[in-house]
Structure 1
Amino acid sequence: MMTNHHSSDENMIGYVYRTLDDAKRESIDEHLIDCQICRARLSGHESRQRQIDHELRAAINAAAPSRKMNFAAIAPRLHRSRFQFYWPRISAAVPIPIAIIGLLFSLYGFWQIFSSLSLSALPRQPGALPTLACFCLMFVSMDQFDRSFSIRPRFIISAFLAFILWLSTFFIGLLNIIVVRDLVIFFYIRSGGSPERASVVTILAVMIAAMVYIGVVIGGAEYHYKNLGHPSSWKLFTWTIVVQLLIMILPYLAY
């Protein structure tokens, strides 16, 4: 399997073409986490594969009939659409603006709640923007998860999307802390607690939520950095966003 503690070129090529079995792929995945040399070699193989794909596509397009030919002898209304040649690029670029929109929604939704912080007997509802942000981010993470099982996108695109997703979950996590704070106050007062002692309960709830939040943010950043572009990284993003969305739904169920 390994040559001089590094993956062989044969295994690297099989990894790129997805001809290895699951056990070998998992073994290489674990090795790539710690081996920068093999990650660089894998990136080189993927670059060569993309170059081969481009050359084959160019050769096929050069040998294909002209796009302007209407094939009247076969079907008078049969035309070759130009859109099919641009669709792969369009589909690869769509997650970028969606991720940016999700980041803006999460940032603006957090600012709306943060700018009106006060003790309240009723939990504030996060509103539509953070919810829409979660759906946008889930679309991006699930799309990248599906793509990661084929030839991976360029490193810059994966790194940019991962950073946008992490930054968005950073702000949504802060919003979750505010939601948890309001819910604790709501249930404390509802159970008969005095409003005067609500601030003490609030501090305790915020401290616990903040410790969990810091662990998720720092641990998640380290995990995504080591597994950038891997299916496990996109899966973790998806589950993180789902949990954050469920927390934001809780105030609507409290009424």
Structure 2
Amino acid sequence: MKHHLSEEELTGYALNLLTDADREALDQHLRDCPACQTALEGHARRQARMQAQLQAELAARSPSPRMTFAAIAPAVRRSRRVSRRAGVLEFFRSYGSVIAAAVGVILAAAAVLRNISWPLLGLQQNASLSLPFAAGIMLGVPAFSHYGQNRLQRPPLPWMWVAAMALWLGTALLGLYEIALLRDVLLRAYLRFGPPSSQLLAQAEALGSWGVFFMGGVWVALVIGGGEYHYHHVGQRASWRLFAWTVLAQLVLLTLPLLA
């Protein structure tokens, strides 16, 4: 070894952090280099002085005998409550969007299937009734449920069903993305305009989690109501008009991050 030991090598040698091969090489160099021996001795003295200072500070900062568990129990309980609340907020922040989206998809699909199968279920129940009076009352419900529909409207073509289903699913999935987008916009707005506090970030994240649940409920209502409306008006001008307004509103929501 033709160069002097570096600070890293001196630290590793003094703290026994080197491998056996490296330590043997440094031992051989130290036997032939008085300058490195002097540097190693000075480094060892600094390490010993730092260790002594650390021990003195620890002894000076040790808790007093009066600090018993009964004295610090209230502070421990408060810290546990804060940590538990922080754990709940962390769970909502990490999985709130996923849970809201999954529940929304399940509820939307179940509600649409229920609304689609409801008229057939009513007709099957009416056909099984045996009392004339009850049959007259119950058969009037599905008969008058179609009052006001245009009988001159042509039946929808297959491609209309496919297009309506694609638009409905596309706008529903885009709505899920916009929920996450609006959550980020809400967080930025609260961090920028919210009251100054040491817990500002935690408060903003909690507000974003509650906002996700609220927007998830609105999303479920719109998906269910829109699916039922498009099912009953597929291929009609009103259905395409509602799709156009829905896409326009979603495009407006996509521009909100540019303003935040």
TM-score clears 0.5: no
TM-score, normalising length: structure 2: 0.40
TM-score, normalising length: structure 1: 0.41
Larger Rg: 2
Query: Which structure is richer in relative contact order (CA contacts within 8 A, separation 6 or more)?
Result: 2
Higher helix share: 2
